[in-house]
Chains A and B, each alone.
Chain A
Amino acid sequence: MKREQDITAFVFLSPNIFGFLVFTLFPVLAAFALSLFRWDIFHAPKFIGLQNYFDLLGWVFEDKSFQWIDPDFWKFLGNTVFYLFAIPLSMAASLFLAIILNQKLRCRIFFRTVFFLPTISASVGLLILWKYLYNGDYGLFNFLLSNIGIDGPGWLTDYHWAKPSIMMMMIWGGMGGVAMVIYLAGLQNIPRELYEAAELDGANGWNQFCHITWPMLAPTTFFIFVTSIIAGFQSGFDAAYILTQGGPAGATTTLDYYIYNHAFVYFNMGYAATIAVVLFFIVFCVTMINWRFGGRKVHYG
């Protein structure tokens, strides 16, 4: 009986596992292997051991000062982490919208649809729109600001404004999106009786939120948070490619864009694989930490 199930299972699994092996597992292992080489794709690869890792993560003491060998990596890691701060903001906005939409209001379907539009259309098309809105000369924002007498910054070209601008765009696109929809589902699963009982006890809206809504939504929040963090570490490629080309002075380059550049612009395949592997470890560790601490809180909190 056992062997029969094995064979049947193999038949069922074979298409997916074939693809999984060829296009996921093998490439992951290959990426690890590749990170030990120096290879520009056009010439033969050269084995260099862990040199790539030293170049990426190493440091030197020069003139009695501490210097990273590849300061860009740390800068771009910083950029990536900076973008992560959009996640809690966006989640808070999503939760707020979801709570409002969860009331018995007219037109809620309409509003839900409208809020979801940016998520549906999020793509190159929308990025080009934002490039236009942010444009210093012809952009809508600076036009509106100039009407009230403010000289707007070059949103995407100013070193200090570029990252917040892209974050703002992310929050605009994200707050009515998937997170809000999941929160709505979560809210609908909270039994009405809880609120009714609370109301009888004289709890006001804020108390209800703190003692019913928030704890009941904790698993949902945790789920959204973990998946957003995983996605967040891989974000920013499209925006960097279309909007800013990673500039000004690398202010909007994320790790994904950095990896792409090393792989398909400079053709340092080995080095690109090294960064990718390091990114993988970062994501892995952060997710593990999330599960370890967040997971426990959700269950026992």
Chain B
Amino acid sequence: MGKIVLTRSRRRQIVHAFSYTFLITVGVTMLFPFFWMLITSVKSRYADPLDLNKLLPETVWQISANDIRNWTEIFNKLNRADRLMDSSALKTIWTAMDPNEQRKIGSVVTRGKYGEEDKKMLVTGLNQILLNEKLWKNEEVAAVLRPEERAVITNSSPLGKENRIKINRMIIDALFPEEIQKAHRYHWRNYRTVFVEINFYRAILNSFFVTLMITVGQVFTSSLAAYAFARLNFFARDHIFLGYLATLMVPGTVTMIPVFIILRELGWINTYYALIIPPLFSAYGTFMLRQFFLSLPRAVEEAAILDGCNAFRVYWHVILPLSKPGLSALAILTFIGSWRSFMWPLIVSHSDNMYTLPIALSLFQSFYEIEWTLLMAGSIIMIAPMLLVFIIGQRYFIEGIQLGAVNG
């Protein structure tokens, strides 16, 4: 009756096509922010952030005052060029400046002292050089360029304004390798700045150390307790366990203040103890592992006990090896949780050598306010180790979480 009858395989094809489209759309939504982050983090810090016309970073050929790392050295070099004492490449670019500008800068270099106004003048002078039309025709100037850079000249004659600026910028970059920031399309400079400005090495180290200690400690103490709850029969077991369960509902903020006071009285604030020990004892871990241990067959255990093993041996040699999946599930959950934990370290870590990554990054954020390129570089440094761990141990992560949920 005009009704289209779809075969089963045909229907499946349509469903699959729809599924793929959907997955790809969601996947792009998930990945694009990360991609954007990466792109921003390799942009020049001084590129105009409002200029969003191109997604990819553009090389900034113009020289701005911020590109200059060492004013004194530049003035010194120009001073030498002025007195004909250095290579004539420098001398040539010196003479390429507008005579008026030259005179002004000349007065600065002889004075040996410079102020804001003089700096501005120098930048103007340097940008004049960029517009010069015959700079590279000078043999000595061309000699400072690398062969592939010189190829740009020969391949593009006659030189348009754009290429002219590009070549001149290369010359300036070659003549002032240390003093002026190079013009590059991509660069890892932001990452270097991040590491120099903030003690990120130490923060990464701290984060790894604290996270590992918490993970190992939590798995150990939780598994011990879970074994007792699952297998041993002791006084008031179920009551104690109920007490554990009830605390699963206690918000972290309830215990936050008293624990802070306890640590203060111990003199532990701003030490590793404060970062590691309070999160070490987890009711959730105990609960989860107890459920897991309960699901293990008792036969092997009983055989071991008959062989004369004591409880600790049973725990160590029978239970632990059998429950590797459960342990790794807890380990992974703990690892993720403490890697990103923010509120607690915020309260107890107070110096460069105690900051964990989230804290260092949050301070870094207020330090740089709106320098997004640097902030993105910092964020990537925070996210990257976790991503690396995840991509390597992807299967364990997923299975661990599934296991934790099914048992919990």
A24 vs B278: C-alpha distance when bound (angstroms): 9
Among candidates A25, A114, A275, A287, residue contacting B243 with C-beta atoms closer than 8 Å: A25
A263 proximity list for chain B (CB < 8 A): 253, 256-257
**Which residue of B has the minimal Cβ distance to A256?**
B253
Is A76 an interface residue, CB under 8 A from the partner? Answer: no
* B342 and A280 form a contact (CB under 8 A): no
Task: Assess whether B380 is interfacial by the CB under 8 Å rule.
Answer: yes
Asked if B249 and A283 make an inter-chain contact with CB atoms under 8 angstroms apart, the answer reads yes
Taking the complex as formed, is A103 at the interface, i.e. its CB lies under 8 A from any CB of chain B?
Answer: yes
A132–B249 touching, CB < 8 Å: no
Whether B19 pairs with A125 at a CB distance below 8 angstroms is no
Task: Flag the segment in A26-34, A63-71, A84-92, A150-158 that touches B.
Answer: A26-34
Q: Which of B132-140, B150-158, B161-169, B280-288 contacts A (4 or more CB under 8 A)?
A: B280-288
**Closest B residue to A31 using CB positions:** B254
Is the CB–CB distance between B339 and A9 below 8 Å? no
Cross-chain pair count, CB within 8 angstroms = 268
Q: What's the minimum C-beta distance from B193 to chain A, rounded to whole angstroms?
A: 16
Q: Is the CB of B257 within 8 A of A273?
A: yes
CB of B372 within 8 A of chain A?
Answer: yes
Asked if B224 contacts A13 (CB within 8 A), the reply is: yes
Q: Which residues of A contact B358 (CB under 8 A)?
A: 123-125
Interface residues of A in 204-244 (CB under 8 A from B): 205, 220, 223-224, 230, 233-234, 237-238, 241-242
Q: Cβ of A73 < 8 Å from any Cβ of B?
A: no
Q: A8-B232, A273-B257 are in contact. Are A116 and B398 (CB under 8 A)?
A: yes
Q: Decide: A137 near B253, CB < 8 A? Known: A105-B19, A172-B29.
A: no
Chain B interface helix/strand/loop/mixed: helix
Docked complex: A1-47 residues within 8 A CB-CB of B: 2, 5-6, 8-13, 15-20, 22-28, 30-31, 34
Count the B residues whose beta carbon is within 8 Å of the partner chain — how many? 92
- How far is the CB of A243 from the nearest CB of chain B, in Å? 10
Q: Is the CB of A124 within 8 A of B257?
A: no
Q: Does B94 contact A (CB under 8 A)?
A: no
Of the listed stretches A54-62, A159-167, A179-187, A292-300, chain B binds A179-187
Minimum CB–CB distance for A172 against chain B, Å = 7
Expressed in whole angstroms, the Cα–Cα distance for A189 and B222 within the complex equals: 28
- In the complex, which residues 275-298 of chain B have their Cβ closer than 8 Å to any Cβ of chain A? 277-278, 280-281, 283, 286
A5–B365 Cα distance when bound, in Å, is 54
- Give 1 or 0 for each of B364-408: 1 = CB within 8 Å of chain A CB: 010000101001101111110011001100100110011001101
List B234-260 residues whose CB lies under 8 Å from chain A: 234-235, 237, 240, 243-244, 247-259
B361 at the interface (CB under 8 A from A): yes
A123 touching B254 by the CB < 8 A rule? no
A74 adjacent to chain B (CB < 8 Å): no
Choice from A9, A132, A279, A283 contacting B372 with Cβ under 8 Å:
A132
Measured between alpha carbons, how far is A220 from B235 in the docked complex, in Å? Answer: 33
Chain B residue numbers with a CB within 8 Å of A260 are 253, 256, 343
**Cβ-based interface call for B188 (8 A):** no
A132–B259 contact, CB under 8 A? no
Q: Which residues of A contact B375 (CB under 8 A)?
A: 128, 132
A126 at the interface (CB under 8 A from B): yes
The residue from A13, A23, A133, A181 contacting B278, defined by CB atoms under 8 A apart: A23
Contact of B222 among A8, A16, A124, A269 (CB under 8 A): A16
| Residue A48 at the chain B interface, CB threshold 8 Å | no
What chain A residues lie within 8 Å of B228 (beta carbons)?
Answer: 8-9, 12-13
- A19-B382 contact, Cβ under 8 Å, with A114-B27, A178-B405, A185-B406: no
Bound: A230/B246 CA distance, A: 12
| CB under 8 Å from chain A, chain B span 338-356 | 339-340, 342-343, 346-347
Bound complex: CA A20 to CA B30 (Å):
39
Binds A, one of B34-42, B63-71, B121-129: B34-42
Q: For residue B332, give the distance in angstroms from its CB to the closest CB of chain A.
A: 10
A259 contacts partner chain B, Cβ-Cβ < 8 Å: yes
CA gap between A119 and B332 in the complex, in Å: 13
Assess whether A34 is in contact with B258, with CB atoms less than 8 Å apart: yes
Given contacts A19-B281, A138-B50, A242-B362, contact A121 B387 (CB under 8 A): yes
Question: Is A118 an interface position by the 8 A CB rule?
Answer: yes
In the bound complex, do residue B283 and residue A126 qualify as a contact, i.e. CB atoms below 8 Å apart? no
Interface residues of B in 55-73 (CB under 8 A from A): none
Instruction: Tell me, rounded to whole Å, the shortest Cβ–Cβ distance linking A246 to chain B.
Output: 14
A180 to B391 alpha-carbon distance, docked (Å):
18
The answer to whether A12 and B232 touch (CB under 8 A), given A124-B358, A242-B362, A276-B257, is yes
Shortest Cβ distance from B226 into A: residue: A16
Q: Is A123's CB under 8 angstroms from B234's CB?
A: no
Chain A proximity of B167: nearest CB distance (Å): 31
Partner of A241, one of B280, B312, B342, B380: B342
Q: Residues of B contacting A115 with CB < 8 Å?
A: 26-27, 30
Instruction: Report yes or no: B253 in contact with A182, Cβ–Cβ below 8 A.
Output: no
Residues of chain A with a CB closer than 8 A to B342's CB: 123-124, 237-238, 241
Q: Which residues of B contact A97 (CB under 8 A)?
A: 26
Q: Does B15 contact A (CB under 8 A)?
A: yes
Q: Does B159 contact A (CB under 8 A)?
A: no
Q: Give Cα A125–Cα B378 distance, bound, in whole angstroms.
A: 7
Contacts of A287 in B (CB 8 A): 249
Please name the 8 residue pairs, one residue from A and one from B, whose CB atoms are nearest each other, closest first.
A19-B281, A125-B382, A27-B258, A9-B234, A125-B379, A16-B225, A185-B402, A30-B258
Instruction: For the A-B complex with A117-B31, A132-B40, A264-B347 known, give 7 more contacts whose Cβ atoms are closer than 8 Å.
Output: A9-B234, A120-B336, A172-B29, A184-B398, A185-B405, A280-B249, A280-B250
A-B contact pairs, 21 of them (CB 8 A): A8-B232, A10-B234, A16-B224, A16-B281, A20-B283, A22-B262, A26-B262, A27-B255, A28-B258, A113-B394, A114-B31, A117-B30, A118-B30, A120-B336, A121-B34, A124-B365, A132-B40, A234-B252, A237-B342, A238-B342, A263-B253
